[in-house]
Structure 1
C-alpha cells in the first residue's frame, strides 16, 4: 500500500491499482491522474479538509465515486451524496478496509462549536485521526499521520498522541499553517516521540510517497 502526502491534510492511498482519497481541502492542489478511485473520506466539515470544487472535480473524473464522512459533513456538503460514518463503523472499498474512530474535533476555543470528526484506519496499517488525538484501541499502527500544526494544537499534545499510539513510523500532516522553521521544529518533536517506542520519523513533503 502506497501513501502520498499532499498539501496540508490530504492523503492519497493506492493499493492494487485502486485509490482512496482522504481530506482534499482548501490548501490542497487539484488531485489529478488518479487511477481507480474507489472512495473519498472526509474526516470533518472544516474547509481545509474538503471543498466543493475538489469533490466536483474528482467525481467528474471518476463518476459515482462514493463519499464518506460524519454527520456534520453530510449536512455541510448537502449538494453531494455523502454516506454517514461514525465511530465504530467499518466498510470495505475495493482493497481497502476502513475503520472509524473518535467522534469529535479537538477543542479550538470555547467560543467555537465542536464539530463531528472521525479518525480513519486503513487496512489495519495507516491511521489518520483527522483533527483529533483519538487513539485507535486494540490495533497496532504501522504508519501514523500525525497533525503537527493547527489553531487547536499544542506540540506537547501532538507528542503525547504519538507516544500513546506507538506507531512503527510517523509523518507530519496538517502543516500548512506552519512556517519552514515551525515544520522543522514539529518534525524534531515527533521524531523524539516516535523513537521512544522504537519507531522512526518519515520526512514526507507534499507529493512524496511511502509504502506501508
Structure 2
C-alpha cells in the first residue's frame, strides 16, 4: 500500500492499481490529475478537508468514484450537488481493494461558542488510521496513525496525549498548514518523542512524497 502525503490533511492511498483519496481540502493542491480513484473519504465538513472544486476536479477525472462521509458531510456536499454515502462510527465499507472501517462521531472542540460537528475517522486496510479533526482513540489496533500536528482545536500537549493513548506502531504527521516550518518541526519532534515512548516510530513525509506501508 503506497501513501502519498499532500498538503495539510490530504492523503492518496494506492493499492492494486486503484486510489483512495482522503480529505482533499482548500489548503491542498488541486488533485484532479489523480486517476483510478475508487473513492473519496471526507472526515468532516470543514473546507480545509473538502471543497466543491476539489470534488468536481476529481470526479471529472474519475466519474465512478464514490464519496463517503458522515451525515454533516452528506448534508453540506449534498447542497453543492454531490452524492455522499453516509457512514458512521462502527461502519465497514468495501470499495475496490480498500476495506474502510470508520470510527469516531464528533470533531474536537474548538471553542464552547462554536457548534460541534460530525467527524468520522477511517482505518484503511487495517493499517492506516486517519482521524480527521479528532482525538478518537479507536477500539482496534493502529499500525500507522495519521497524526494532526497543528490546528485551532489542538494543543501539542493534547496531540502527545493522543499518540500515547493510541500507541500506534508509527505516526505520519498531517494537518500542518496552520504552522510555520519552524513550528511544524518543533511539533513533529515532540510527537516523535511521544511515539518512541510507546515503542513506535515517526515518519515525516513532505507534501507530494510517498511512503510504502
Q: TM-score, normalised by structure 2?
A: 0.97
- Report the counterpart of residue 59 of structure 2 in structure 1: 59
Q: SS at the partner of 2:120?
A: strand
Q: SS at the partner of 2:90?
A: coil
**Aligned 8 A contact 2:4 2:209 in 1:** yes
- Report the counterpart of residue 129 of structure 1 in structure 2: 131
- Report the counterpart of residue 15 of structure 1 in structure 2: 15
**Aligned 8 A contact 1:17 1:35 in 2:** no
Q: Distance in 1 between matches of 2:183 and 2:122?
A: 26
Describe the shift of the 1:173–1:189 C-alpha distance in structure 2 as closer, same or farther (beyond 3 A): same
Q: Distance in 2 between matches of 1:33 and 1:110?
A: 40
Number of residue pairs aligned between Structure 1 and Structure 2: 211
Shift of 1:164: 1.0
- Report the counterpart of residue 94 of structure 2 in structure 1: 92
- Report the counterpart of residue 205 of structure 1 in structure 2: 206
Shift of 1:35: 3.2
**Aligned 8 A contact 1:194 1:201 in 2:** yes
Q: SS at the partner of 2:58?
A: helix
Q: TM-score, normalised by structure 1?
A: 0.97
Q: Distance in 2 between matches of 1:81 and 1:171?
A: 30
Q: SS at the partner of 2:171?
A: strand
Q: Distance in 1 between matches of 2:156 and 2:67?
A: 31
Q: SS at the partner of 2:28?
A: coil
1:1-212 paired onto structure 2 within 5 Å: 1-78=1-78, 79-137=81-139, 139-212=140-213
What runs of 5+ residues in structure 1 fail to find an aligned partner? none
**Aligned 8 A contact 1:69 1:118 in 2:** yes
Q: SS at the partner of 1:40?
A: strand
**Aligned 8 A contact 2:33 2:58 in 1:** no
Hey, which bits of structure 1, 4+ residues long, moved more than 2 A? 32-35
**Aligned 8 A contact 2:35 2:61 in 1:** no
RMSD over aligned CA atoms reads 0.8
Superimposed CA distance per residue, residues 68-93 of structure 1 (whole angstroms, 9 cap, x where no aligned partner): 01000111111100110000111001
Shift of 1:208: 1.2
Q: SS at the partner of 2:19?
A: strand
Q: Distance in 2 between matches of 1:101 and 1:140?
A: 12
Shift of 1:36: 1.5
